[in-house]
Amino acid sequence: MPRKKTATLTLHCKDAPGIVAHISNFIFERGGNIITSHHHSDELNNQFFMRVHFDTEKLKLTNKNFEDDLAATASDYKMETVLSFSSNRKKMAVMVSKYDHCLYDLLLRHQYGEINADLSLIVSNHRDLEHVAKAFKIPFFYIPVTKETKVEAEGKQIEIFQQHNIDFIAMARYMQILSPKILDAYAYRIINVHHGFLPAFKGARPYHQAHEGGVKIIGATSHFATAELDMGPIIDQETIRVDHTHSVESMLAMGRDVEKQVLATAIKAYAQDQIIVYKNRTIVFPE
């Protein structure tokens, strides 16, 4: 059965009366039928945020003409808008090193149709997971990275992403710090995951440090990658309670589960245009 043709509009602007009615009428007058609509007013910054998902089967004009009309009406409110049509699925790349749990999870979710995007390729600085890519029939690009070759390697990565028209990137435990070159090229389009609920245990072997420190909560955070390491706008977070009976091994297993969960949640939200970034915060709308 063919998929229904839909579009998703996200927007933000200075708050003002009548925006919801204005946008709803705009879509209705052009033949669109709203499926879901969510909005949020931020009183502190006097900002308005909205996400509308609508049916375009009976749209009275072409996608391009609809975009042109939207640009004109957006100027009335000085809106920043993003419009996506279901006929133009986003293309996703995955960056990974040696840990495989997040990669397997994303590949399976993509295979089951849970991620509304095309998983186009995998880039890695090691060959360890090349067999996984082959098993799922996903193109795999091995680009080794050393201190001396980092600039050249990232240049190759960007070139590959551009050649394949990649829209966004998932860092599925890619154990390299990205430079401003690639971060700027894909600003707020690179999603990372880390053990964000272990702030006192940075660096190597964080779960071992946490075990020795007797922590009571472990967890993970998915966020947009920025130049400030692990400090980009947060998309999703989860925690798990632990106690003195948990071994390092059990904490590692629990950590893997929560890491892949928060990464997948962020990827799915981005693919479905549920996220708006404002300053260093995210507004994450329901589906």
Predicted confidence at residue 198, as pLDDT, reads: 46
Q: Rounded to an integer, what distance in angstroms lies between the CA atom of residue 250 and that of residue 242?
A: 10
Tokens of 42: 């931020």
Radius of gyration, CA atoms only, the chain: 21
109 pLDDT tier (thresholds 50, 70, 90): very high
Read off the pTM.
0.92
User: Which residue reads 């390491």 in tokens?
Assistant: 229
Over residues 208-244, the pLDDT tens digits come to 777 777 888 888 999 999 988 778 999 999 988 988 8
Q: Rounded to an integer, what distance in angstroms lies between the CA atom of residue 141 and that of residue 123?
A: 5
35 has a pLDDT exceeding 60: yes
Question: Is 42 an active-site residue?
Answer: no
- Residue 184, Cα to own-chain centre: how many angstroms? 16
Burial of 258 (0-12, 13-18, 19+ CB in 10 A): buried
Domain 6-85 fold: Alpha-Beta Plaits (3.30.70)
Predicted confidence at residue 251, as pLDDT, reads: 84
| Strand partners for 194 | 221
Q: By C-alpha distance, which of 158, 150, 127 is closest to 140? A: 127
Over residues 185-204, the pLDDT tens digits come to 999 999 999 876 545 566 66
Q: Which of 42, 128, 230, 257 is catalytic?
A: 230
151 has a pLDDT exceeding 80: yes
65 has a pLDDT exceeding 50: yes
Out of 3.40.50.300, 3.40.50.170, 3.30.1330.30, 2.40.30.10, select the CATH number for domain 90-274+280-284.
3.40.50.170
Write down the domain spans for the chain: 6-85, 90-274+280-284
Mean pLDDT, range 236-264, rounded to an integer: 90
89 within 8 A of 118, measured Cβ to Cβ:
yes
